Amino acid sequence: MLTKARTREQYMVGLAEVVVTQDPDVTLCTQPLGACLGIAIYDPVAKVGGVLHSLLPDSKLDPVRAAGRPGMFLDTGLADLLGRAEALGATKENLRVFTAGGAQILDETASFNVGKRNYEVLHQLLEQQGLNLHAQDVGGFTNRTMQLNLETGEVRLKFSGQIKLKLLCPKSPTI
């Protein structure tokens, strides 16, 4: 008897995009994160996960654009990410939060350091939501991509110019 082998699908989360799913055969992957922040969330009980690829910290810069593309801004993007996850059964009590990016890219003087500002705003937003970061890899001067495996809850990073992936979060145990 032949059985169909499961195939893993990689879904590329674009700039200013929010993706949430319960599909265990999907790995969500960001495009390269420079000053942008990638935020991955995973609920090991509901088996719900999502990724936000956010560019800027505050939607007050352009409320009209934020309404149309909430993922562009960290404040509206995180609210959208959490709302979509909760709609699929995720709970804040079980939610694990991971972030990567926030590098200082194309700004050697650090006068605009959007990456640092993104990271500071993320901490404020998580505190308001009663959430903590479970793992992070932010700052520096290198682009990286983030991958969230929905079957296991593993979060991996790939750094520009490197072949090997870095494990940011091992397989999430069921609570």
Place of tokens 């690829």: 53
Do 41 and 50 contact (CB within 8 A), yes or no?
Answer: yes
Nearest to 29 by CA among 164, 170, 145, 124: 145
Which residue in 26, 28, 36, 114 is the catalytic one? Answer: 36
State how far the Cα of 115 lies from the Cα of 172, in Å rounded to an integer: 27
State how far the Cα of 18 lies from the Cα of 29, in Å rounded to an integer: 11
Side chain identity, residue 52:
L
Side chain identity, residue 172:
S
- 169 is annotated as an active-site residue: no
Q: What's the DSSP call for residue 32?
A: P
Tokens at 71, concatenated: 């993922």
Positions annotated as catalytic residues are: 36
